[in-house]
A = this chain, B = another copy of it.
Amino acid sequence: MTASFSVSNPAFRERVTASFTDQQVMHTLGARLMEIQPGRVVIELPYQQALTQQHGFLHAGIVTTVIDSACGYAAFTLMPADAEILSVEFKINLLSPARGEKLIAVGQVIKAGRNLTVCHGDAFMQNGDRQKPVAHMVGTMMAIHNRDDLKK
């Protein structure tokens, strides 16, 4: 599943960072952008009671939010400078309850296409020096060209 990818926008790190900064929900949740490589992005989210479901675990949708952004930005690293990005669809399997100190979501590109990019994402909960897998995502991201309604 590991692959080397060709980068079409040399300023991909700046572009991902700027877009992440524009995602207000990332600020609201307290998520942090930790790593940006071609075809790979890591985002962390500290555990917070305010984001939990009825048993005190991080809500599956919040876990999804962080993995979706990690996958989307992994795809975005490989897109040309004029493309915008949107999620087309994703599927997530919840492997274990998300409790611990922080959530670490790793998004990686499986296949980069002109329009559609397929990614997988893995989320772990860290407790001390242990990491436990909590969710696995596979999703499709779309490069959007020339859509004025997506311009800021």
**A23-B59 contact, Cβ under 8 Å, with A28-B50, A136-B118:** yes
Number of copies: 4
Contacts of A65 in B (CB 8 A): 59-62, 64-65
**A23-B115 contact, Cβ under 8 Å, with A62-B61, A65-B59, A91-B138:** no
For residue A142, which residue of chain B has the nearest CB?
B116
- A54 proximal to B (CB < 8 A): yes
**A138-B93 contact, Cβ under 8 Å, with A55-B84, A68-B60:** yes
Contacts of A89 in B (CB 8 A): 89, 91-94, 118, 140
A50-76 residues with Cβ-Cβ distance < 8 A to B are 50-55, 59-62, 64-69
Interface size on A, residues (CB 8 A): 54
> A residues touching B (Cβ–Cβ < 8 Å)?
1, 19-20, 22-25, 27-28, 49-55, 59-62, 64-69, 84, 86-97, 110-111, 115-116, 118, 120, 122, 133, 136, 138, 140, 142, 149-150, 152
